[in-house]
Amino acid sequence: MHTVRSGSPFEQLASYSRAARIGDIVAVSGTAALDETGVSLFPGDPAAQTREALMRALEAAAALGARREDVVRTRIYLLAGTEWRGAVEAHGAIFRGVDPANTTLHVAELIPQDCLVEVELDAVASGPVSERASS
């Protein structure tokens, strides 16, 4: 198995990786739009948080050899009561033409403070693992 870590202290605490690849399957963990100290970016803006989180998830997948076109499933978790339309429009702009399976749902709580959105994605990698990944 190959993995990618973002350097988040939470990854160390919870013993997980931002993304993992086994064979050609790539899974990206719940990803939020946070700065390096864990503070939420774009407070109150679910569309901007979704865009940033998806770009970070795609970057982690790319380190494991998966391109945007390789993504087969996405999940968008929205804090209960968060306006959903901006989040799904951001997803649409990023994945138009790829059209992966998607689940979007409201959840009672997200762990990062002021975080409105977390995303996950799964892909079937078409390329090699980069030097950024560990095995």
Domain annotation covers residue 110:
yes
With a pLDDT cut of 90, the percent of the chain lying above it is 79
pLDDT at res. 53: 98
Summarize pLDDT for 35-86 with one digit per residue, the tens: 988 899 999 999 999 999 999 999 999 999 999 999 999 999 999 999 999 9
Q: Into how many domains does the chain fold?
A: 1
Domain annotation covers residue 134:
no
Q: Give me the residues paired with residue 103 across strands.
A: 75
Domain annotation covers residue 62:
yes
Cβ atoms of residues 83 and 104 within 8 Å:
no
CA nearest to 22, candidates 36, 2, 40: 2
Domain annotation covers residue 132:
no
Domain annotation covers residue 53:
yes
Domain annotation covers residue 135:
no
Domain with 62 in it: 2-124
pLDDT surpassing 80 at residue 132: no
Indicate the pTM of the whole model.
Answer: 0.94
Cβ atoms of residues 83 and 26 within 8 Å:
no
Is residue 1 very low, low, confident or very high in pLDDT (cuts 50, 70, 90)? very high
Read off the CATH number of the domain in which 22 is found.
3.30.1330.40
